Amino acid sequence: MNHRKANTLELFVEHLLRLPWWAGVLAALMSWAASYALIDAVTTVKGAELSTLQQIALPALRDLAKVAMVLLPAAFLTLALWSAWLGYRHQRNYNEVADEHGASLLQKLSSREFENLVAEFFRRKGFAVEQRGTRMPEAGVDLVASIGEDRYLVQCKHWRVQRVGVAVVRELCAVAETEGAVGVFVVTSGSFTDEARRYVECNRITIELITGDQLRRMIRGLDPVAA
């Protein structure tokens, strides 16, 4: 997967979209109720009890709350709809890739969709999955898959033609040792070089290289996941 730096706003929105759709609906209701309560509180304050500054500020605060009562629920509902759509699309992609003729679809996925597909695969295998969401350098970690006390680092490579080489595997193993992970998975829509496979055989850390064909077989339940 090609990584790029993301700004803070992009990362914030990305994490919001990972929340379940109902969280957006709940946030919309709570923001509307909070704005309504603020408007009611400001309206009921008696003018004689207010200083000059308060008499100027409170109407402005009331007007701001009226705007918030419309905009905040609308924003949260939009996020809820977007989250629901993304969840539906992720499930659809997963089911279609698992189909007998899903090999071509695997290649058509975007890098982000491929990462989400891999994340869903690990979740269905019983792993708790953290999607890092950061755009780190090429040796970065896309997912952290945990099962019990064991943590595995996962890197997703949506490469259509180029084969994943040993440098990618070696760098991810170095990160795993630094973070105390018990093993790594490198998952690609393509394949691996012979040198990368030889590195797996002589390394003390648990390494699993998963090609696009193997991933589809695992999703279909034809091959087990190593861990």
Confidence of residue 68 (pLDDT cuts 50, 70, 90): very high
Same structural domain for residues 126 and 187?
yes
Q: What is the dihedral of CA 122, 127, 119, 170, to 10 degrees?
A: -80
- Whether the pLDDT of residue 12 is over 70: the answer is no
Predicted TM-score (pTM) of the model is 0.69
Secondary element (H or E) of residue 196: helix 194-201
Percent of the chain scored above 70 by pLDDT?
A: 82
pLDDT category at 5 given cuts 50, 70, 90 is very low
| Domain housing 37 | 8-98
Alpha carbon of residue 215 to chain centroid: 19
Domain boundary among 78, 98, 118: 98
Q: What is the spatial distance between Cα 80 and Cα 226, in angstroms, rounded to a whole number?
A: 36
Number of domains present in the structure of the chain? 2
- Examine residue 84 and state whether it is found in any structural domain, yes or no: yes
* Percent of the chain at pLDDT exceeding 90: 28
